Amino acid sequence: MTAQPALSPELSALLRLLDDTDERIAHAVEEKILTYGEIALAALEPYVKADDTVIRDRVSCLIAKIASARFLAEIRVLHDESETLPDGDIDLEFGVGSLARFAYPFYEQYELEETLASFARRLQTRISLCSTHGEVLKAFIYFFTCEEMFAGNTDDYYNPDNSYINKVLELRRGIPISLSVVWLMAARRLNLPLTGVNLPGHFMLKYDVPKADVYIDPFSGGKILSRLDCVKFMTNAGYQFSEKHLAPTTNRQILIRMLNNLIEIYFQRSDRLRAEPLKRAIEILI
């Protein structure tokens, strides 16, 4: 639990009314608490596991609303900052970190950065012993699949946690795009020529070196594929192949695809409280 800041007398008084049985008072209290934004978020954290189910439910709803507002504000900043960059692309690490905080409001960006930095330090030691691109790629794949034990979550594919980077890092399980993002972010810290490939129905990576088309599927244990393998994969899945499907994808496209995956899951679950902010995030990014 994070350290709690000193609360204003008004906010302290509002928190004491979280269990009020009068629905009109409860609504007024919740609306007022929401005006405190992130200050209220920190103040509400101790109540997440309250014994009183009424308090727990109200706090859960308040936290979700505050986290959603913060998430959309961060996405707007992400988009606005990208417009000042030469390539106009967004910061992927911040984007997936912000998405994680949408569902897990107390997850901190530095936690993601520290984990990736740790991966990069350990990988650098292994890669420094390699003399060819093939050896580098083999060491890179071995690190994530055999040492860190990342794998596709085939048992619970449609669990939303497969798309939240903090849970992917914690559980070492994910879907094709989230696993690829972990590998991609680590590779970028080492200046390795790894890019995302936004295939319909399945996201993977390309190790982009001259005179070679080497594709990697993190979801399938780091399986290496050729260009022809990718084409066959698409046609066998019922998609019409186009060269654009093998083109390097942008950070913006990656984040939008992750958002779309979650939107589909939440709409299937009739969870509009989660789905609607994600839809608005895409509208900001497009």
pLDDT at 165 over 90: yes
pLDDT at 221 over 90: yes
Residue with tokens 């970028």: 188
pLDDT at 3 over 70: no
- The model's confidence at residue 212, banded by pLDDT at 50, 70 and 90, is confident
Residue range 79-121, pLDDT digits in tens: 999 999 889 999 999 999 999 999 999 999 999 999 999 999 9
Q: Which domains does the chain have, with CATH numbers?
A: 9-77 (1.25.10), 90-285 (3.10.620)
pLDDT at 210 over 90: no
- The Cα–Cα gap between 149 and 215 comes to 20
- The model's confidence at residue 1, banded by pLDDT at 50, 70 and 90, is very low
Alpha helices in the chain (DSSP H): 9-15, 23-34, 38-44, 53-82, 92-103, 109-127, 133-142, 165-171, 176-189, 227-236, 251-268, 272-285
pLDDT at 223 over 80: yes
Q: pTM for this structure? A: 0.91
- The Cα–Cα gap between 56 and 155 comes to 30
User: What was the pLDDT predicted at 105?
Assistant: 96
Of all residues in the chain, the percent with pLDDT exceeding 90 is 75
25-29, 34-38, 258-262 — most confident range:
258-262
Average pLDDT of span 180-206: 96
pLDDT at 260 over 90: yes
Beta bridge partners of residue 173, listed in sequence order: 151
- The model's confidence at residue 211, banded by pLDDT at 50, 70 and 90, is confident
- The Cα–Cα gap between 231 and 207 comes to 17
User: What was the pLDDT predicted at 19?
Assistant: 87
Average pLDDT of span 184-194: 96
81-90, 145-154, 200-209 — most confident range:
145-154
Average pLDDT of span 46-55: 89
